[in-house]
Amino acid sequence: MTASPSLTDLLQTAEEAARVAGEIARQQYRQPQNIRQKNGIRDLVTDTDVKAQVAALDVIRARYPDHTILAEESAGPEPADGVWTVGEGITWAVDPIDGTTNFTLNLPMFCTSVGVVQDGVPIAGAIYDPLRDELFGGAYGHGAWLNGERLPAVVERPLNEAVIAVDWSHELARRQQIIETVDGLAHHCRTLRALGSAVLGLAYVAAGRLHLYANFGLKPWDSAAGAVLIHVLGGEIRRSDGKPWTFGESWLMAGHPALLDEIGQVLDR
């Protein structure tokens, strides 16, 4: 009987896979791209996305050939209700380039994400920004790091001092929900940003560069690794209606619990 892999081994594999994929993206940055539409004009894929995903999956499969993989460029259609179901055992949630639109425009804001999910719960993950050579990693019971330096707990910050990032879903109905949320928060927070990379948004909340990240159109590979970082550093993730968030749901707001409470009061949720 094969022993279950340790969290340390899983995290090391996630970090290696993220680095390998990110290096491909870095090498191809500013190079001509074959750009295609996946599910409409707002959902793009390039040959580099595909190459980076193959490289990441090769690393994972070489060590864990029996594990399930849920990767962006081979995941199939989104469930009709927007809620993804991740089964029992270990699943790898891989996004080879999060921020593909930025990548195609030479906007330097994209990354690679590799998350490890056990029985439907994210337990370890790595996020790699190849242009800045920044590797975020974390695992339950182990904490979180940026380039090997341990990250401190998420700091409480009142809404009037908070820097909030939001990003836009591909779907118009969810975009309208973001507009309403921005309208409700704009007069109460310090300022707002839109990064174009959900994974970096979550990583930046964990690192204290942002205080809240909101997105109502995420896929599992967008949130797996970031959810680990947020949770192990004392942050919290809730749904857009203020209820507890479950991995696989598309809508989330991530930040310090006290800030999420205050936002709930402002938005009357």
Q: To the nearest whole percent, how much of the chain has pLDDT over 90?
A: 81
- Domains of the chain, CATH where assigned: 7-150 (3.30.540.10), 159-266 (3.40.190.80)
**What are the tens digits of pLDDT across the range 191-239?**
999 999 999 999 999 999 999 999 998 999 999 999 999 999 999 999 9
Mean pLDDT in the chain?
93
**What are the tens digits of pLDDT across the range 128-181?**
999 999 999 999 999 999 999 999 999 999 999 999 999 987 777 788 888 999
Rounded CA separation 82/73 (Å)? 17
Mean pLDDT of all residues in 105-130: 97
Tokens of 178: 């973001």
Of 195, 246, 193, whose CA–CA distance to 220 is shortest? 246
Amino acid at 249: E
**What are the tens digits of pLDDT across the range 27-51?**
999 998 888 877 655 667 899 999 9
> What are the backbone dihedrals phi and psi of residue 101, each rounded to the nearest 5 degrees, phi first?
-60, -45
Residue 1 confidence (pLDDT) above 50: no
Of 243, 237, 240, 197, whose CA–CA distance to 221 is shortest? 197
Neighbouring-strand partners of residue 63: none
* pLDDT of 269: 62
How far is CA 7 from its chain centroid? 19
Mean pLDDT of all residues in 83-92: 92
Rounded CA separation 192/206 (Å)? 17
Residue 6 confidence (pLDDT) above 90: yes
Rounded CA separation 236/257 (Å)? 6
Rounded CA separation 12/9 (Å)? 5
Q: Is 137 exposed, middle or buried (0-12, 13-18, 19+ CB in 10 A)?
A: buried
Q: To the nearest whole percent, how much of the chain has pLDDT over 70?
A: 96
